[in-house]
């Protein structure tokens, strides 16, 4: 069956008006007429098909249509302007099988111009079609794969792809499509936020969110021991703003800006008056045989510092006596890092998080029932020795805990993190050391203590200081070590139980022991 251009349009969408004398079609589909509403010009013919002697096309007004009997195919030519409703008699009530033909003067129409910039389509395709001036129409912009809709321009402006408009004479619409900048940015993002030069537990934390190619994102914010949910929509400019609700108090405001594989922004509390800078990285995706360049096992120490660190994370308290924390970090082939450590007050700390493409580890762990935390940007390096394999500046916040055995007054201090790639040596030695010194300081000791030792076959440590019994065992697969020493500290007999970890690149071991109400440091180093 031949369908002219205007008839095909009327059949599909029932919105255009053809030139006078054109043939239009309405088909029965199930228990409905398609299209249900058709606009034609004076002198046009409408052909009804698909009746199958089971339906009628019966006018409810002056226009006769096809009468009251069943039909298979029939046609009607309209000679006057007006609105002409019709029904299928047996199915009008039960199935709402009704329709209407709108007949207009062709002089009341105007062609619509639809111009497409970029790659995409507009549905239905009304470009060049004569539409009735004053009537309302709806069209939708559909971007091609890899493109995004960037708005309507021309005779009308709008940002949403679905546009409902009133036809005007000589109207031209422009659908704008651009390469989707968010498609390549989709993935998982992880990072930290804190107030520069004044990191405090109540104004710092971590975040993670998942971005899909449409620009929508959902995530979690960790702040002051609470996990807060947020969600939003990035614009084509790579920017987003949204509120982060908090139960029982004012919401936080968040600003995000995508920048290559990073996200930058701010977290603000307008009531409390603080503004924290936010930074994070997209988790890299390794496929096939590709793997993270930082994959491996690491050992690390958390050591005290005395001055304001370069990043301004926190300032140590000069009179605070605290030992050396330690831990292990395992990065798998996909870049997922699992950290297990112990801080120098005996507090365990664990985290699982991706390592960024550039080797950044966003370390944040809520501690002490959410009332304290540690925070650090730690940089991993695969440069050869003697460069450290990881390093960073860390802020450690412990709340006042009256009645606690260690540091009941709490503190906020800056620490250093330094670490080494660790490779289990098998039957070789974990350190390049024959003779060494195990030293103890702090932790309520009146003076530093030392033991001379040797590191022999199977990494067995032998104590040479006979008047100060010491045992030290190294767990070769992990690099962890533990032991105890019995000492005379200013006439007071003490047994110090210690634990720590080996740093192979630095050729030393470090860790802590707990004293009466403070912790101290233990070090294992080769003799000079």
* 202 belongs to a structural domain: no
Q: Which residues make beta-bridge pairs with 455?
A: 461
Is the confidence at residue 436, as pLDDT, over 90?
yes
Q: Is residue 28 part of a domain?
A: yes
pLDDT higher than 70, residue 266: yes
Tokens describing residue 16: 């255009």
- For residues 301 and 415, state if they share a domain: yes
Q: Do residues 276 and 173 share a domain?
A: no
φ/ψ bin of 171: left (φ > 0), alpha (ψ from -120 to 50), beta (otherwise): beta
Q: What CATH number did the domain enclosing 85 receive?
A: 2.60.40.420
**In-domain check, residue 308:** yes
**Confidence (pTM):** 0.72
171/146 same-domain check: yes
Read off the pLDDT of residues 33-57 as tens digits, 9 standing for 90 and up. Answer: 999 988 888 888 999 999 999 999 9
Q: How far apart are CA 332 and CA 18, in angstroms?
A: 66
Q: How many Cβ atoms sit within 10 Å of the Cβ of residue 21? A: 12
Average pLDDT over residues 472-498: 96
pLDDT of 306: 44
User: Same structural domain for residues 227 and 332?
Assistant: no
252 and 360 inside one domain: no
Closest to 429 (Cα-Cα) out of 306, 524, 305: 524
The pLDDT mean for the chain works out to 90
Structure tokens at 259: 């920048």
pLDDT confidence bin for 454, thresholds 50/70/90 = very high
**Looking at the structure, do residues 218 and 174 belong to the same domain, yes or no?**
no
Side by side, the strands of the sheet bearing 187-194 are 226-233, 216-223, 205-211, 187-194, 274-282, 262-269, 252-259, 239-244
pLDDT above 60: residue 5:
no
Tell me the pLDDT tens digit for each residue of 277-308. 999 999 999 998 999 999 999 999 999 864 33
Residue 237's pLDDT is: 87
Among the candidates 71, 104, 137, a domain finishes at 104
Q: Is residue 151 part of a domain?
A: yes
Q: Residue 233 forms beta bridges with which residues?
A: 216
pLDDT level of residue 127 (50, 70, 90 thresholds): very high
Q: Which residues lie below 8 Å from residue 74, measured CB to CB, with a gap of 6+?
A: 47, 48, 51, 57, 65, 66
Tokens, residue 83:
């609105």
What's the rounded Cα separation, in Å, for the pair 372 and 204? 11
Domain that holds residue 65: 5-104
* Residue 75 falls inside a structural domain: yes
Instruction: Report the alpha-carbon distance of residue 279 to residue 292 in Å, rounded.
Output: 21
Joined tokens for residue 254: 């968040």
412 and 324 both lie in a single domain: yes
- Give yes or no: residues 400 and 318 share one domain: yes
Residue 343 has pLDDT above 60, yes or no: yes
Residues 452 and 522 placed together within one structural domain of the fold:
yes
For residue 401, give the CATH number of its domain: 2.40.128
Dihedral angle, C-alpha 303, 307, 311, 313, nearest 10 °: 70
Average pLDDT over residues 334-360: 97
Nearest CA among 192, 356, 208, 210 for reference residue 276: 192
- How far is 65 from 88, CA to CA, in rounded Å? 11
The pLDDT value given to residue 319: 64
Least confident of 62-66, 123-127, 423-427: 62-66
Contacts of 354 (CB under 8 A, 6+ apart): 188, 190, 283, 284, 335, 336, 337
Answer yes or no: is pLDDT of 400 > 80.
yes
Is residue 19 scored above 80 in pLDDT? no
The helix or strand, by DSSP H or E, that contains position 8, with its residue range, turns out to be helix 5-13
Is the domain of 414 the same as that of 324? yes
Q: Stretch 80-95: mean pLDDT, rounded?
A: 94
Say yes or no: 320 and 405 in one domain: yes
Of the three residues 251, 282, 313, the one that is the final residue of a domain is: 282
pLDDT at 145: 85
pLDDT for 313:
34
Last residue of a domain, one of 386, 421, 456: 421
Q: Which is more confident, 230 or 79? A: 230
Q: Residue 208: name the closest of 194, 192, 184 by CA.
A: 192
Same domain assignment for residues 269 and 386 = no
Q: Which of 137, 114, 173, 106 is nearest to 14 (CA)?
A: 137
70-87 pLDDT, tens digit each: 999 999 999 888 899 999
Lookup: tokens for 491: 């006439």
Instruction: Look at the chain and report how many structural domains it folds into.
Output: 5
Strand partners, 220: 208, 229
Kindly report which listed range (143-152, 190-199, 309-318) carries the lowest average pLDDT score.
309-318
Task: Count the alpha carbons within 13 Å of 452 in the hemisphere toward its beta carbon.
Answer: 7
Given a cut of 60, is residue 345 above it in pLDDT?
yes
The answer to whether position 290 is within a domain reads no
Q: Is residue 190 part of a domain?
A: no
The answer to the question of residue 198 being in a domain is no
CA distance 35 to 12: 7
């Amino acid at each position: 069956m031949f369908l002219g251009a205007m008839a095909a349009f009327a059949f599909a969408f029932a919105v255009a008006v053809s030139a006078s004398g054109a043939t239009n079609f309405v088909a029965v589909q199930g228990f409905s007429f398609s299209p249900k509403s058709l606009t034609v010009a004076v002198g046009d013919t409408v052909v009804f098909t698909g009746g199958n002697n089971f339906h009628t096309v019966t006018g409810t007004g002056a226009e006769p249509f096809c009468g009251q009997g069943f039909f298979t195919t029939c046609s009607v030519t309209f000679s006057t302007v007006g609105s002409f409703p019709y029904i299928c008699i047996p199915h009008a009530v039960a199935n709402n099988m009704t329709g209407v033909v709108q007949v207009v003067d062709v002089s009341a129409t105007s062609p619509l111009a639809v111009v497409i910039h970029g790659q995409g389509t507009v549905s239905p395709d009304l470009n060049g079609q004569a539409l009735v001036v004053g009537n309302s129409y709806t069209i939708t912009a559909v971007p091609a794969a890899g493109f995004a809709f960037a708005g309507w321009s021309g005779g009308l402006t709008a940002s949403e792809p679905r546009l409902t408009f009133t036809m005007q004479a000589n109207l031209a619409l422009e659908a704008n499509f651009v390469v989707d900048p968010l498609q390549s940015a989709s993935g998982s993002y992880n990072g930290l936020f804190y107030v520069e030069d004044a990191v405090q537990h109540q104004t710092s934390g971590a975040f993670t969110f998942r971005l899909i190619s449409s620009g929508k994102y959902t995530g979690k914010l960790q702040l002051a021991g609470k996990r807060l949910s947020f969600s939003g929509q990035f614009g084509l400019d790579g920017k987003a703003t949204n509120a982060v609700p908090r139960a029982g108090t004012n919401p936080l405001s968040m600003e995000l800006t995508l920048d290559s594989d990073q996200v930058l922004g701010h977290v603000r509390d307008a009531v409390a008056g603080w503004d924290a800078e936010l930074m994070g990285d997209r988790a890299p995706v390794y496929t096939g045989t590709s793997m993270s360049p930082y994959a491996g096992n690491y050992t690390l120490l958390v050591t005290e510092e005395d001055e304001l660190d370069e990043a301004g994370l926190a300032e140590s308290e000069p009179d605070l006596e605290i030992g050396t924390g330690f831990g292990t970090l395992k990065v798998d082939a996909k870049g997922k890092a699992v950290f297990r450590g112990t801080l120098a007050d005996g507090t365990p700390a664990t985290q699982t998080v991706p390592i960024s493409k550039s080797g950044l580890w966003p370390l944040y762990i809520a501690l002490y029932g959410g009332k304290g935390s540690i925070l650090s940007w730690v940089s991993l390096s695969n440069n050869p020795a003697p460069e450290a394999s990881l390093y960073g500046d860390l802020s450690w916040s412990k709340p006042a805990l009256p009645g606690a055995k260690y540091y009941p007054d709490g503190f906020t201090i800056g620490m250093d993190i330094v670490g080494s790639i660790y490779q289990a040596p098998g039957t070789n030695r974990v350190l390049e050391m024959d003779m060494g010194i195990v030293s103890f300081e702090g932790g309520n000791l009146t003076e530093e203590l030392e033991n001379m030792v040797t590191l022999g076959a199977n990494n067995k440590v032998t104590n040479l200081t006979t008047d100060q019994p010491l045992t030290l065992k190294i767990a070769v697969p992990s690099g962890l070590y533990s032991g105890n020493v019995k000492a005379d500290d200013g006439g007071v007999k003490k047994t110090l139980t210690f634990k720590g970890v080996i740093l192979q690149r630095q050729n030393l071991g470090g860790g802590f022991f707990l004293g009466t109400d403070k912790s101290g440091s233990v070090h294992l180093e080769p003799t000079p």
